């Protein structure tokens, strides 16, 4: 996957930069695309893991048929089990990525419904907009 995650210090606030309507729409769209890409990559990873598990299982069978030491068969069985568990976890991550992708699309659509018309009005007028909180005084 493209970028590395870096943990934040505990108690710090995440900065989001520009929070204008268009910027938020863009961020939600990018998040959805990235999560969709992650899901695709996780699906490919899961398939490779399953393929490797099948190959390891076949090697274990070949070792058993060759009459080699039992410990090698046990090692291959452990590897097949571990790869199966890894494939299961990759599937869970794939489903989570799909859920986040769906939520990002829904959030973007809701944001557009709630604020799209307001942004259109604000963007097309030639008078200054009061700063947030101006009418609260």
Structure-block tokens of residue 58 = 């076949």
* Contact (CB, 8 A) for 23 and 17: yes
Pick 117 or 128 by higher pLDDT.
Answer: 117
pTM exceeds 0.75 for this model: no
- CA distance between the termini of the chain: 48
Angle subtended at Cα 56 by Cα 52 and Cα 58, rounded to the nearest 5 degrees? 115
pLDDT digits (tens, 9 = 90+) for 72-112: 999 999 999 999 999 999 999 999 999 999 999 999 999 99
- 14 pLDDT band, cuts 50/70/90, is low
Say yes or no to pLDDT of 128 above 50.
yes
């Amino acid at each position: 996957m493209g970028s590395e995650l870096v943990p934040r210090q505990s108690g710090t606030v995440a900065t989001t930069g520009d929070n204008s309507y268009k910027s938020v729409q863009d961020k939600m769209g990018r998040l959805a695309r990235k999560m969709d890409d992650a899901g695709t990559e996780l699906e490919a990873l899961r398939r490779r893991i399953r393929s490797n598990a099948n190959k390891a299982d076949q090697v274990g069978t070949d070792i058993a048929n060759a009459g080699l030491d039992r410990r090698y068969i046990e090692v291959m069985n452990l590897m097949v089990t571990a790869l199966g568990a890894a494939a299961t976890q990759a599937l869970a991550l794939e489903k989570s990525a799909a859920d986040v992708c769906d939520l990002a699309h829904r959030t973007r659509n809701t944001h557009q419904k709630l604020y799209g018309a307001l942004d259109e009005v604000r963007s097309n007028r030639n008078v200054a907009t009061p700063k947030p909180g101006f009418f609260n005084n």
